[in-house]
Structure 1
């Protein structure tokens, strides 16, 4: 029997366009694998669409109409950032009793919050950059101490992330970050290689880590370098056995500590003292050229196989989630 999968893209966050690319790629791969695919798009104003057709009246009417479509075998929320990856859609699917690809509400909410993620990491023995939490309302009172990386607490694709090397740059960086969140993280600069590891949970409950990927970028790996083609990736990263084991072990510990399901990308800096956690993405970019598919391709898992396995795992009740889906 052909399984029906609803793929959701777009969303109200700054990553709207990135999400559209992920959703289109996932939908194409699933159709190629024999799934019956329905595509839904969330506009920037929150309106749900099926193709060009707006569902229901604006506001709650649109959401109510979308719920009638979401009742599928599996929902694949190809959404990044707030009002999507942060557990919002996971909660909606849980209330609708619809199986969903990826992490539930709890893991999504913790994973998108960079401050909360740091606290979880430190609790399980994974180093993070020293940092401080700043309220957007208080940015005028923040003093410059040393060069720092400034980032919104809950945003992805490096939107609002900047390197501040003096007091003037710090003020500008804080103002920019405040456009994306009312909580801002100011972290010490970490010197090290940028290494990503992806973790996948299979339908049988087993979870395993991909070969690590190294990012080569001139300066900060910001939004521009992520999408303008200037950054290069090496996968598998050129690592010794000790470093590879340390990175893989830390990635698996973070995946488990947050309670992730589906796939997650865990980003590190590899320093002379070992891995330092950068951030966690519970619904990372998933075009065929994105980092996560590249990593699993290096392990022999093709893109079409990867998205099909995510659907397979989602169909297993309670896998990686609490009984109520969160």
Structure 2
């Protein structure tokens, strides 16, 4: 049985019969009254007493598993995952650490660099550094990176706030825009390369799907191309050699393990004309829309959408049960 919960942009948690039927528009979810509105978080847990409300392991009345289909800050950055950990509920996907590191592009890239994963050159800084040392930072960027550049908020997904800059004037505007979304930003060197994505599935022994290639018709793969206008085409599976497929699989699994991921990850790469593999980023809760790459890659690999969901749920329960065996204090204390 599915027990859906909707979270509005205003932070209201809602449940009810409206969420059980087909949702044709976002407005359908935007209740005009207090239908399904929660007074507190435990009201969403179908249990008969407070002990059951806070612990899914107490019996049949508890929730079996949570599937947090949430993106961006407060969704896939470890915050909701932390809440579910405190409530002692099994949930699909990555834990607190992997979710937080996977959301922060700067932290993620620093961890990848330490692990020896190849990346495009980048510079990062915070708002206060930009405010106090703009000229110095511009000099550093222009001396260490080659045009064009991509400016990104460190902690936002779906290409929101990302801008391509071809000169200093565009760069300054792009930086100012990115700082509207985050206090920390990333400036990356542009590269002429194929954009290849890999889906990863598993816990301690992850496996990879076939490769998929993004074929954007726009200048770059922005929010609109991803979710709205459908202007992006995909090659699934991508035309890659056996050697390149193996290199992509190795890099994707290394990235998965570096961040201590679990459940699922979509790993995004740049591949040069010499077949050099550069990791761009990982997405710890990739999209599941009809045009999303993650499920499409698994379907092309022989795993149906329903079987994918079932395996993700099994992986969540497996990880939860393993955690229940751990001790958190010395014997007798």
- Give the equivalent residue in structure 2 for 1:87: 78
Q: Deviations over 1:69-125 (max 9, x none)?
A: 775110000001110101111111111110000000000011111111111111222
Q: Deviations over 1:207-243 (max 9, x none)?
A: 2100010000132111122121111000111011221
Q: TM-score, normalised by structure 1?
A: 0.81
* CA deviation after TM superposition for structure 1 residue 64, in Å: 4.5
Contact 2:94 2:263 in 1 (8 A): yes
Mapped partners of 1:93, 1:68: distance in 2: 15
- What are the ranges of 5 or more consecutive residues in structure 1 without an aligned counterpart? 1-35
Matched, 1:244 2:245: yes
CA-based RMSD of the aligned residues comes to: 2.2
Q: TM-score, normalised by structure 2?
A: 0.80
Matched, 1:174 2:139: no
Contact 1:107 1:260 in 2 (8 A): yes
Q: Deviations over 1:143-196 (max 9, x none)?
A: 161421100101111001111111121122112211221110001112210000
- Give the equivalent residue in structure 1 for 2:261: 260
Contact 2:105 2:154 in 1 (8 A): yes
Match of 1:154, SS state, is coil
Q: Choose the corresponding residue for 2:124, options 111, 124, 133.
A: 133
- What are the ranges of 5 or more consecutive residues in structure 2 without an aligned counterpart? 17-30, 48-52, 54-61, 329-333
- Give the equivalent residue in structure 2 for 1:42: 7
Mapped partners of 1:320, 1:222: distance in 2: 39
Mapped partners of 2:321, 2:73: distance in 1: 24
Mapped partners of 2:220, 2:327: distance in 1: 40
Q: Which structure is richer in relative contact order (CA contacts within 8 A, separation 6 or more)? A: 1
Match of 1:310, SS state, is helix
- Give the equivalent residue in structure 2 for 1:283: 285
- Give the equivalent residue in structure 2 for 1:30: none
* CA deviation after TM superposition for structure 1 residue 288, in Å: 3.6
Contact 2:46 2:63 in 1 (8 A): no
Summarize the Cα distance change of 1:318–1:74 in structure 2 as closer, same or farther, 3 Å threshold: closer
Summarize the Cα distance change of 1:156–1:319 in structure 2 as closer, same or farther, 3 Å threshold: farther
Q: Choose the corresponding residue for 1:301, options 296, 300, 303.
A: 303
* CA deviation after TM superposition for structure 1 residue 206, in Å: 3.4
Summarize the Cα distance change of 1:197–1:320 in structure 2 as closer, same or farther, 3 Å threshold: farther
Larger Rg: 2
* CA deviation after TM superposition for structure 1 residue 250, in Å: 0.1
Summarize the Cα distance change of 1:163–1:39 in structure 2 as closer, same or farther, 3 Å threshold: same
- Give the equivalent residue in structure 2 for 1:151: 152
